Amino acid sequence: MRQVRQTWFGTPQKSTRFIYLDHAAATHLDPQVRAVMEPYMQEEFGNPSSLYGQGVRAGQAVENSRKSVAKILGALPEEILFTSGGTESDNLALLGYARAHAKGGKHIITTAIEHHAVLGATKQLEKEGFEVAYLVPDTQGLITAQQVKQALRPDTILISIMYANNEIGTIEPISEIGNMVQKYRQETGKTFPVFHTDACQATGYLDLQAEKLHVDLLTLNGSKMYGPKGIGILYRRRGIKLQSLQFGGSQEHNIRPGTENVPVIVGLAKALEIAESLRAKECERLCTLRDFFIREILTSVSHTHLNGHPTTRLPNNINISFAAAEGEAMLLYLDHEGIAVSTGSACTSQSLDPSHVLMAIGSTHEEAHSSLRFTLGRSTTKKDIEDVLDILPPIIQKLRLLSPLV
């Protein structure tokens, strides 16, 4: 049977080509992950809080998953909290810590390029009387430890800086910043500021050992690591108090009540384990493909430039602005050819604002509207990249022909 593809127009098109280059948005569920999840949806459906066999087995599955995640993060099992995803983990880290420590100070440091899950939380905290410093990165998206140090105040209680940016792929010097924060705490003899990092895009590409990163709080989510959606992790260094965002039972150390989503927790642990085992090989493979694509597209299409850092970037991230061609138009032409990408153009965002990340690194509105993000993944082959290199230039050429901006 030929594959029938559902396009954005709602009319199925016969196309055998499907090149998925939006792994930073979502990843497919690894079949091995699905296999370990299956039993917990059918026969082992018990509530982990129940005391009979089925409940105990479900509870054990959750605790084994917690141990497995803890091992990869170099953490203790009790330092791992399961949440509903990256957004909840970020919200819990920021709102939960700030609200619990408001007496210690009301100053928070973050960056202008954080995910909305962090920026939305800081906006809420501003309403609650906190003061937030938004550090602006350089034109390649880098924040320095020195910058963070300069922003520190005696009343700074929390610092939140992402590990790697989801749009432009720039990797922040988390270990260096964390080290500086630790030293600062030692010098001042205070227990704060604590350091949170959103590591959602880092899984499978970067070292997640909390000790090495010198972080106190760390966010991960399942849907970016070939695991199930609707599951996240918040690493919380022992001793750090968080105020709950929801109320109910005593699950997750009373911090995050609600019956554990057992199959999804089991799936997340397996997904993380696989991601970690493939990490070195995938990094090498994808860096080669990434650099090949960037080099080729920048030489074959004029008036293009790479957004983000040329080398200190995620192995799977490519973000390029194609002057005078608009992002949504490029995206939909590519979709028509069976290629899935994303854009920083306002036209595709619900808010109709261009990417706040591209604006923060000093892009013009036009550059932000003209950007495309390609994020590679496990299924990406050299052939996929070559196909995109064949298909994309004529699309740019056509849209530039229509454009008054050339």
Partner 1 sequence: MTSPFLDGSTQTKTSWVYSDIVKDHFFHPRNFVKDDEEVKDYDAHGSYGSPACGDEMHMWIKVDPQTKRIVGCKWRTFGCASAIAATSIASEIVTKDGGMTLEEAKHLKPQTIIEHLGGLPDRKIHCSVLCDKALFEAIHHYEQTHF
The verdict on whether 347 is a catalytic residue reads yes
User: In the bound complex, what is the minimum distance in angstroms from residue 229's beta carbon to partner 1?
Assistant: 14
**Applying CB under 8 A, does 278 fall inside the site for partner 1?**
no
Rounded to 5 degrees, what angle do the CA atoms 401, 403, 406 make? 85
Helices (H), 307-378: 327-336, 356-360, 365-369
Question: Between 3 and 22, how does the x/- string for binding to partner 1 read (CB under 8 A)?
Answer: ---x-xxxx-----------
Tell me 191's DSSP state: S
* Cα(164)–Cα(96) distance, integer angstroms: 23
Q: Which is nearer to partner 1, 53 or 362 (CB)?
A: 362
Question: Between 198 and 237, how does the x/- string for binding to partner 1 read (CB under 8 A)?
Answer: ----------------------------------------
User: In the bound complex, what is the minimum distance in angstroms from residue 126's beta carbon to partner 1?
Assistant: 27
Is 404 exposed, middle or buried (CB count within 10 Å of its CB: 0-12, 13-18, 19+)?
A: exposed
Is 280 exposed, middle or buried (CB count within 10 Å of its CB: 0-12, 13-18, 19+)?
A: exposed
* Cα(293)–Cα(291) distance, integer angstroms: 5
Residue pair 216/240 in contact by the 8 Å Cβ criterion:
yes
**Applying CB under 8 A, does 340 fall inside the site for partner 1?**
no
Could you give phi then psi for residue 144, rounded to 5 degrees? -110, 160
Determine which one of 200, 283, 287, 347 is catalytic.
347
**Applying CB under 8 A, does 298 fall inside the site for partner 1?**
no
**Applying CB under 8 A, does 328 fall inside the site for partner 1?**
yes
Candidates 14-22, 277-285, 295-303, 331-339; binding stretch for partner 1 (CB under 8 A) = 331-339
Please list every residue from 353 through 372 that binds partner 1, using CB under 8 A: 354, 364-366, 369
Candidates 48-56, 80-88, 96-104, 397-405; binding stretch for partner 1 (CB under 8 A) = 397-405
Residue pair 212/48 in contact by the 8 Å Cβ criterion:
no
* Cα(81)–Cα(268) distance, integer angstroms: 12
Closest CA to 322 of 338, 339, 344, 337: 344
Give the helix/strand (H/E) hosting 161: none
User: In the bound complex, what is the minimum distance in angstroms from residue 380's beta carbon to partner 1?
Assistant: 24
Closest CA to 320 of 300, 336, 350, 338: 300
Candidates 117-125, 208-216, 251-259, 322-330; binding stretch for partner 1 (CB under 8 A) = 322-330
**Applying CB under 8 A, does 338 fall inside the site for partner 1?**
no
**Applying CB under 8 A, does 347 fall inside the site for partner 1?**
yes
User: In the bound complex, what is the minimum distance in angstroms from residue 358's beta carbon to partner 1?
Assistant: 13
Q: Which is nearer to partner 1, 218 or 396 (CB)?
A: 396
Q: Which is nearer to partner 1, 332 or 340 (CB)?
A: 332
**Applying CB under 8 A, does 352 fall inside the site for partner 1?**
yes
* Cα(385)–Cα(305) distance, integer angstroms: 18
Q: Which is nearer to partner 1, 11 or 250 (CB)?
A: 11
Q: Which residues bind partner 1 (CB under 8 A)?
A: 6, 8-11, 324-329, 332-333, 336, 345-348, 350, 352, 354, 364-366, 369, 401-405
